[in-house]
Structure 1
Amino acid sequence: MTPSAEALSLEIRDVGVSFDGVRALDGVTLSAAAGRVTAVIGPNGAGKSTLLNCVSGLYRHSGDIRLGGVSLSTLAPHRRARFGLARTFQTPALVDELPAVDNAMLGAAAMARPEREHRLRQRAVELLDRFGVDAARDLPAGSLSHGDRRRVEIARALLPGPALLLLDEPAAGLDHDEAMGLLTAVLEICGTCVLVEHDVELVIKLAGHVVVLDTGRVLAEGPPAQVVNDQKVIDAYLGQEIPA
């Protein structure tokens, strides 16, 4: 498998965003170290997906977002992608009429350098095979199961070898073992990863650092074992201690 681009650190400084007067993010500051998985957890409506939308350029925001020390805040989404950022969404967004392999190849659309189609197809096939979609790679994406659609979307995000991968609830619709196998394979390929996930047991196993959002603010952060036993986090989100 072609290795990822050089991993880059992500710095988010005092980021805020409002919708119709409601403060969805309020002074969020956090770091995602290069080559490490940083998980963002919290209750529904805490601002997790909003944060990823700010990082990827879908939402305008106050504050600053830097990748590898370079500010992304004034860049359009496609320019951030060319800088090495890739992401997935809570609900896989595929072109249903296209085969799975062609959907995966769309990940090359933002690549700065032209590449020959056969090489891109080879890389797409490698990724789909690795994620267990080899038997369905020539089928229309609209005919695939939810799990395979998610695998295709992740392959698309990984195709250009991103320096930063944003994963928005990648385990949704998968059982724990399926999600663990998929994400373990993903993390062997990508560089820096920011993972938004509700499966806290999965987070504990995969993340090196955990950030908890609540009502648009950072409630707690630190190593997984520390965070899941923080009484503030238990009260606001977990409801009970989780063995780490």
Structure 2
Amino acid sequence: MGATLEIRDLTLRFGGVTALDRLRLSLAPGTVLGLAGPNGSGKSSLINVLTGHYRGEGSILLDSEQIDHLAAPERVRLGMTRTFQAPRTYRRMSVLENLDAACHAFRPLLRNRSVRRCETKEMHAQLERFGLGHLAHALPDQLTPVEQRLLELARAHVTGARLLLLDEPAAGTTEAEAHHLRQVMAEHVLPGRTAILIEHRLDFLRALCSELVVLQAGRMLAQGAPDDVFAKAEVRETLMGEPVHA
């Protein structure tokens, strides 16, 4: 089951610039929340505060436990993981080794040989599910951009994290590749988890998210079901440049 997440009056400032302004959100287990907004609206800043890479003001509760005082590794151990706009992998490790390393971030490192053999079989099975089985021994730099995206998603999946923070998982892909990523996420990554999904492809958000928030200048512009939010004139103007008529 996915985690619960509550954000209370979250504020982040860089000098005189306010990146997040008293943001409040509440996610029930299994909610997939889409996060949209123009560049600089605070989307990635929110993920960076949730993961502990930035320190803001306000409160963050994961499964009713306050975590805003915790360092990033401690938040990972509580069941939170993220992906990045530009996939981050271990470049000198194979695809299989990258998956194994992500798994170990959440599990004890000391195992006997029989357990390790079973886990290796499971990692191979996971690579097959993500369409990367034939690339198990390749290095990340040998993968195509969409294959690197799939590896990033596979790494997030095998952690077993209950809260996923996904920062533009389809960035830089073609429409066909984005459609494939969307299918993989719907089938393997998102079920049974709570997630925040940042994406500029609005069809991506509409297809995968049960709820949508639009940010503008660090503040919430709109929140609700995706179709209802996209129907708002101020959202269409912000996201698609459509003029608002009084």
Q: Normalising to structure 2: TM-score of the pair?
A: 0.90
1:157-190 Cα distance to aligned partner (Å, 9 max, x none): 1112111111100011222333233233334344
Paired residue secondary structure (2:212): strand
Paired residue secondary structure (1:188): helix
Q: Which residues of structure 2 form unaligned runs of 5+? A: none
Residue 238 in structure 1 maps to residue 246 in structure 2 = no
- State the one-letter code of the partner of 1:172: A
Paired residue secondary structure (2:25): strand
- State the one-letter code of the partner of 1:69: S
Residue 85 in structure 1 maps to residue 87 in structure 2 = no
Distance 1:89 1:120 in 2: 26
Q: Which residues of structure 1 form unaligned runs of 5+? A: 1-5
Which residue does the alignment assign to 1:184? Answer: 183
Residue 129 in structure 1 maps to residue 131 in structure 2 = no
Q: CA deviation at 1:9?
A: 1.7
- The 5-angstrom pairing of residues 22-37 of structure 1 reads 22-37=17-32
- RMSD over aligned CA atoms reads 1.7
Question: Is the contact made by 1:15 and 1:25 (CA closer than 8 Å) also made in structure 2?
Answer: yes
Distance 1:86 1:127 in 2: 18
- State the one-letter code of the partner of 1:124: M
Question: Is the contact made by 1:87 and 1:167 (CA closer than 8 Å) also made in structure 2?
Answer: yes
Paired residue secondary structure (2:235): helix
Which residue does the alignment assign to 2:171? Answer: 172
- The 5-angstrom pairing of residues 21-170 of structure 1 reads 21-114=16-109, 116-170=115-169
Distance 1:240 1:128 in 2: 42
1:183-219 Cα distance to aligned partner (Å, 9 max, x none): 3333434411110000001111111100001111111
Q: CA deviation at 1:112?
A: 4.5
Question: Is the contact made by 1:85 and 1:165 (CA closer than 8 Å) also made in structure 2?
Answer: yes
CA 1:8–1:23: 2 relative to 1, 3 Å: same
Question: Is the contact made by 1:124 and 1:155 (CA closer than 8 Å) also made in structure 2?
Answer: no
Distance 1:122 1:50 in 2: 37
1:124-166 Cα distance to aligned partner (Å, 9 max, x none): 3222211111111210112111111111111111112111111
Q: Percent identity between the aligned chains?
A: 36
Residue 19 in structure 1 maps to residue 18 in structure 2 = no
Paired residue secondary structure (2:89): coil
Residue 209 in structure 1 maps to residue 208 in structure 2 = no
Q: CA deviation at 1:118?
A: 2.9
CA 1:176–1:31: 2 relative to 1, 3 Å: farther
Q: Normalising to structure 1: TM-score of the pair?
A: 0.91
Distance 2:179 2:7 in 1: 27
1:4-53 Cα distance to aligned partner (Å, 9 max, x none): xx211211111111112211111111122211211000000101001011
1:216-238 Cα distance to aligned partner (Å, 9 max, x none): 11111100011011111112222
Distance 1:50 1:224 in 2: 22
How many residue pairs get matched? 236
- State the one-letter code of the partner of 2:215: L
Look at both structures and tell me which one has the larger radius of gyration over its CA atoms. Answer: 2
